[in-house]
């Protein structure tokens, strides 16, 4: 295992009725809140009124920022930053999935800097890949934020990463910075009951790829890490089947929320270094086409697995045995790996996820541009370093 230094300061509140605690959670920071959320779904289901009534009963003033979209938008973040400055906002509350959380994080740091917030995202990627030079656009503080989750997927409520899309330049970048940690996150499974099944399915794939990005690593002596992720993956698979059959299955939704938070938390990354190559490739596809991230991850990840598995056969074979319960018998590592990938494919198909770009509405003409953008800061991955040509081959295999 690699050396690590772990601390997660997010207060995580789980269970039915936890939004009743919003007032006492927020009031230590102030009485004026920017409420960041998506579109009509939140209001149609009554979640919006439940949250706003709770806040108002605590004497909190609410300023709305509606319109969060999958692949969170830079233009909405800039609008939120201006509102925070003009209205002297004390606290930002995100309600929804990872896009709401990521938008709130970007607004939080953007309010505190004196430069265009997009520069922070550009500098982070330059710093991450080049590891040299001076990068002045590194946020050091944020407005405090909290998150109420209505979808199990990204785990953004429990980590210090924020992804942002610039629709003008067709770029999707991230910032990883510990000032992004939310003050609290609420996971009430009942708030997920009305999510469309397509979104549930994409969320399941997203959670799984977060575990898998950190499971298929080159580090050795990672047994406890492997077993933790194997348990998480098996739980997501079992709970995912149950939730797709009955979205109001409280226990299964609880498992998905729990796994989503821990899959992408710093705890899950202790002791091993995931390359996240598939995520970086998918970010370019969704930056260009606006494809749902979870959907894109299912497609890209299958292409990546097939392309690199021969370089880490023992781990892919273990994945087949421990996650999918495939019997070893006299099978080689290569046979086991192939069966594990096929089982993953079958499961995602069973959720109703289309597993090639064309069926997802993505024209293959975007592949060269996406591949070029994916490696613009350098090759991707640790298992097998991926060049532009490698990324093209991965995407062509799932076109």
Token pair for residue 358?
């064309």
Domain identity same for 185 and 228: no
Q: Report helix, strand or coil for 65.
A: strand
Domain identity same for 215 and 359: yes
Straight-line distance from the first to the last Cα atom of the chain, in angstroms, rounded to the nearest whole number: 37
Domain identity same for 295 and 353: yes
Domain identity same for 357 and 318: yes
Domain identity same for 315 and 356: yes
Domain identity same for 314 and 214: yes
Token pair for residue 42?
């939140």
Residue 4 within a domain: no
Render each residue's pLDDT in the chain as its tens digit; 399 residues.
Answer: 788 888 889 999 999 999 999 999 999 999 999 999 997 788 888 999 999 999 999 999 999 999 999 899 999 999 999 999 999 999 999 999 999 999 999 999 999 999 999 999 988 876 666 555 555 678 889 999 999 999 999 999 999 999 999 999 999 999 999 999 999 999 999 999 999 999 999 999 999 999 999 999 998 888 999 999 999 999 999 999 999 999 999 999 999 999 999 998 877 778 787 879 999 999 999 999 999 999 999 999 999 999 999 999 999 999 999 999 999 999 999 999 999 999 999 999 999 999 999 999 999 999 999 999 999 888 999 899 999 999 999 999 999
In order of 142, 167, 191, 237, 263, the CA distances from 232 in angstroms are: 31, 34, 22, 9, 8
Residue 371 within a domain: yes
Domain identity same for 164 and 46: yes
Q: Which of 157, 191, 225 lies at the terminal end of a domain, its last residue?
A: 191
Domain identity same for 181 and 214: no
Q: Cα–Cα distance between 243 and 239 in angstroms, integer?
A: 6
Residue 2 within a domain: no
**Which CATH number characterizes residue 274's domain?**
1.20.1090.10
Range of the domain at 26: 11-191
Provide the domain count of the chain.
2
């Amino acid at each position: 295992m690699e050396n690590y230094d772990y601390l997660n300061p997010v207060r995580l509140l789980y269970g039915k009725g936890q939004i009743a605690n919003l007032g006492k959670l927020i009031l230590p920071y102030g009485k004026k809140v920017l409420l960041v959320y998506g579109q009509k779904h939140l209001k149609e289901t009554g979640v919006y009124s439940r949250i706003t009534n709770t806040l108002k009963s605590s004497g909190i003033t609410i300023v709305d920022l509606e319109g969060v979209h999958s692949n969170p938008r830079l233009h909405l973040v800039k609008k939120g930053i201006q509102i925070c400055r003009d209205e002297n906002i004390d606290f930002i509350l995100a309600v929804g999935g990872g896009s709401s959380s990521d938008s709130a994080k970007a607004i939080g740091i953007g309010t505190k800097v004196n430069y265009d917030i997009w520069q922070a995202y550009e500098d982070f990627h330059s710093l991450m890949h080049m590891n040299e030079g001076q990068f002045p656009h590194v946020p050091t503080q944020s407005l405090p934020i909290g998150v109420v989750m209505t979808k199990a997927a990204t785990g953004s409520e429990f980590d210090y990463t924020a992804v942002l899309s610039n629709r003008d330049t067709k770029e999707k970048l991230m910032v990883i910075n510990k000032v992004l940690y939310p003050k609290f996150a609420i996971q009430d499974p009942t708030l997920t009951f009305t999510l469309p099944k397509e979104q549930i399915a994409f969320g399941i794939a997203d959670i799984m790829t977060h575990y898998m990005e950190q499971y298929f690593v080159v580090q050795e002596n990672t047994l406890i890490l492997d077993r933790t992720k194997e348990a998480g993956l098996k739980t997501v698979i079992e709970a995912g089947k149950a939730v797709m059959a009955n979205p109001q299955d409280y226990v299964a939704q609880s498992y998905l929320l729990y796994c989503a938070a821990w899959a992408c938390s710093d705890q899950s990354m202790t002791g091993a270094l995931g390359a996240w190559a598939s995520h970086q490739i998918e970010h370019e596809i969704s930056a260009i086409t606006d494809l749902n991230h979870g959907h894109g991850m299912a497609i890209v990840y299958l292409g990546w697995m097939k392309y690199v598995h021969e370089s880490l056969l023992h781990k892919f074979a273990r994945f087949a045995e421990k996650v999918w319960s495939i019997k070893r018998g006299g099978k080689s590592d290569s046979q086991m790996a192939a069966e594990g990938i096929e089982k993953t494919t079958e499961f995602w198909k069973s959720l109703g996820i289309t597993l090639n770009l064309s069926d997802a509405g993505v024209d293959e003409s975007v592949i060269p541009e996406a591949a070029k953008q994916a490696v613009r800061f350098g090759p991707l991955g640790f298992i097998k370093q991926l060049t532009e040509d490698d990324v093209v081959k991965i995407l062509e295999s799932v076109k």
